[in-house]
Structure 1
């Protein structure tokens, strides 16, 4: 750990990052060295948290065959494990590079005191949990609520003329085909999302994400999943008007998705590119909010967001064009 600029105490926050980066970053407080603490905060979000699992699962099931090696090694499982290894390796590489740019001359000493092991006092545990939860809700929660409301607004509303045209179009279709009302309502929600501010933004960024193999619908999912990565699956379900929000029906819709030229959207290169993007991109406003709170500045969350987005875009571009 020291060779890449970290401390032995960085291990626990990084392991905790496999569950969720928010408490993992809060746990870096026990690292006394400021430089090592900052480096740990900057690289912990690269560890694949549980919120990425729904994205990995559905994309792997789309493009990776359910093949076994030696009778017990699943190819899908190996790809999943590879994504976890990729996040860990990139965290160590980024830390090694970043240590040359963060200039703090504080010396580091690893001292680990092993206390006498006793049964925990459950009253103290309960009080600590409540106090930590209050701190998170009060400090990080305010930022999260504001960004969540903004994302909800962008996904629910759009230019009045466009949205009115969509409503009028489907009102006429319902009058003409009353028996198909339920099906039309699903298509209405999909088209409303397409014409919402988020949809317009997805169309706007499509030229930027097209070199990665993505279309405008994936662009919308990238925007909405900033609230939480697992929102990707729900957004795709809405966009493709899935009758029931379950993996099998959504998987069929995604497998059938095509570009305007008739080519498939979710090919092996595009899906691998998207998985790599989700491994490396900073798509979690909760994490940014807690980094701001821990570093007491917007400077480091901004740097973290910028380097992770650049890294995700570059690696996804390379993966897409290699495969």
Structure 2
């Protein structure tokens, strides 16, 4: 069996505030194979790494009176969102902010680091990866996601060309580079396929539909994408699928793990690699039989959950806890 790929989801985000260089450095130290990043643009067109372009939950922006007038409401992928948005800040302005723990109640140990770290650019994460080595002695890879690409294209800040330009500057725009580019939107991946030869990943949520399909009045949903025909179509433009883990092993009514679906087998049949998301150690995220207590913040048996999905054929794991994933996988 090939080793399971360990993808550090926003870095070692179970231990440090997500999307910080400290989180990524810890992920490398814990043996991650890939560093996963969400990319969003600044007003001056620089790609930075944040889970969302709204940064009220992941930075101390609310404590900066000089930016109080930047708080606004935007419609992002058809949903009204209120807060502060990266596209309203220059990189220099974002550099004055500090990262905070997004889940402080579940991760008080992460919140201890609030205020210590800044917001990195994608270039900085790529540079860290280039200077790092995996547990097997190879190069650490990167796994960027185009975040809300339809929205950003609509305001003149399209993500695809700047993302590929960043890879090119880092010497990573090659078919054999340790790079996956991911998106929930098929259109973004198709645009990337025209300008780069790195591997592409179609993300598939547990419900709903890709926003670019919604915006185009295309009736297809994520359910349609994971049918045998849908996976065959994905294989025309992508190399892998990043599946919400319930797509592979759904939960029963009592919140325990059920029986595996056929989606992994079906994906493999058309040549797609299968990565699953997101695996976290806190009870709040684990199936009922693997929880250690009724406290959602307590640590349960993440290793057992990962092993169950690897046994079902999953090739790689997105995790907030790279150390536990490395220990649990062959």
Question: Under TM normalisation by the shorter chain, which class is it?
Answer: under 0.3
Between Structure 1 and Structure 2, the one with more strand by share is 2
> What's the TM-score once normalised by structure 2's chain length?
0.24
| Rg comparison, structure with higher value | 1
